[in-house]
């Protein structure tokens, strides 16, 4: 009997401000694969201590190993990082999002709090991009995430489009693949009510090899989930390829005027597998 397929890594990560405890449970009920409770950018400096205390009380009341709770802490070297660091020892925290990830030592220190605690490295600076392969190779890193807004600022890009960041996105995809990590998490889309922009961002991320996306509002979740599933045209092509290859019994075969070799067949089968997994998830 063949082993069951490995569970699909999370595809949707939903941010929730740590100073909005009324949204914690709603976020967990939203259908997001993972919920990131944000102590960093989403909370004003004067409110961070209160937000941290509120989050600590909520986490302390939750069972150990809560499967979908990620905490984004403040960056190393900033006020509040040490207190956030201590908070992550609570057993209800499944993973920590490390902002401004640039050093493997910072990730290792977090993971040392608990043997089962993992780290999502949010790469959002030039140095972070330069160190992406070292970060990905660290045994404490679960996944890389792309901080598109802060990276553009750090690089001094003015009036940029998301397409201008394609080389840096590609570096995270390559680093993740070389380290055997799941495909990285793409950055946020700030246009909450513009479905066309979100759809284009998801298509870009999928095309470049990303496997998930950071979301800032629950209404983004359905489009993000759907965006990673094969569309009707892709499925029809994949079915034609698999059927033609099966009928050829090892002989050379062409589909839609293109020769079907092993990589083409593997891509077609992967699309069918993605559709099947999406139908049951």
Residues of the chain with pLDDT under 70: 1-6, 65-67, 231-232, 235, 248-252, 275, 277-281
d(CA 34, CA 60) in angstroms, rounded, equals: 19
Domain that holds residue 237: 232-280
Q: What is the DSSP string of 15-48?
A: EEETT-GGGHHHHHTTT-SEEEEESSTTS-GGGH
CATH number for the domain spanning 65: value is 3.20.20.60
d(CA 189, CA 191) in angstroms, rounded, equals: 6
E-only strand ranges, 59-105: 69-72, 95-98
Same domain membership, residue 134 and residue 238:
no
Q: How many domains does the chain have?
A: 2
Residue-level pLDDT at 261? 75
Same domain membership, residue 259 and residue 151:
no
Residue-level pLDDT at 256? 77
Classify residue 182: in a domain, yes or no. Answer: yes
Residue-level pLDDT at 230? 72
Residue-level pLDDT at 204? 96
Classified as helix, coil or strand, 60 is helix
Residue-level pLDDT at 229? 81
Burial label for 92, CB within 10 Å (0-12, 13-18, 19+), is middle
């Amino acid at each position: 009997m063949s082993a069951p397929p490995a569970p699909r890594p999370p595809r949707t990560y939903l941010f929730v401000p740590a100073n909005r405890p009324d949204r914690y449970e709603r976020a967990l009920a939203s259908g997001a694969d993972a919920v990131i409770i944000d102590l960093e950018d989403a909370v004003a400096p004067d409110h961070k201590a209160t937000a941290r205390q509120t989050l600590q009380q909520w986490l302390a009341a939750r069972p150990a190993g809560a499967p979908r709770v990620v905490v984004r802490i403040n960056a190393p070297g900033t006020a509040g990082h040490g207190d956030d660091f201590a908070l992550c020892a609570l057993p209800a925290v499944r993973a920590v999002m490390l902002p401004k990830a640039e050093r493997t030592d910072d990730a290792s220190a977090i993971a040392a709090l608990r043997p089962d605690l993992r780290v999502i490295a949010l790469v959002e600076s030039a140095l972070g991009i330069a160190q992406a392969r070292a970060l990905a190779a660290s045994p404490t890193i679960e996944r890389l995430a792309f901080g598109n807004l802060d990276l553009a600022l750090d690089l001094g890009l003015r009036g940029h489009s998301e397409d201008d960041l394609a080389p840096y996105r590609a570096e995270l995809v390559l680093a993740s693949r070389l380290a055997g990590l799941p495909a990285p998490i793409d950055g946020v889309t700030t246009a909450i009510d513009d479905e066309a922009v979100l759809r284009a961002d998801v298509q870009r991320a999928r095309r470049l090899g990303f496997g998930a996306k950071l979301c800032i509002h629950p209404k983004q979740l359905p489009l993000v989930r759907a965006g990673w599933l094969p569309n009707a045209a892709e499925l029809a092509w994949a079915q034609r390829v698999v059927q033609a290859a099966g009928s050829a019994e090892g002989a050379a075969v062409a589909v839609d005027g293109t020769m079907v070799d092993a990589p083409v067949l593997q891509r077609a089968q992967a699309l069918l597998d993605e559709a099947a997994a999406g139908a049951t998830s």
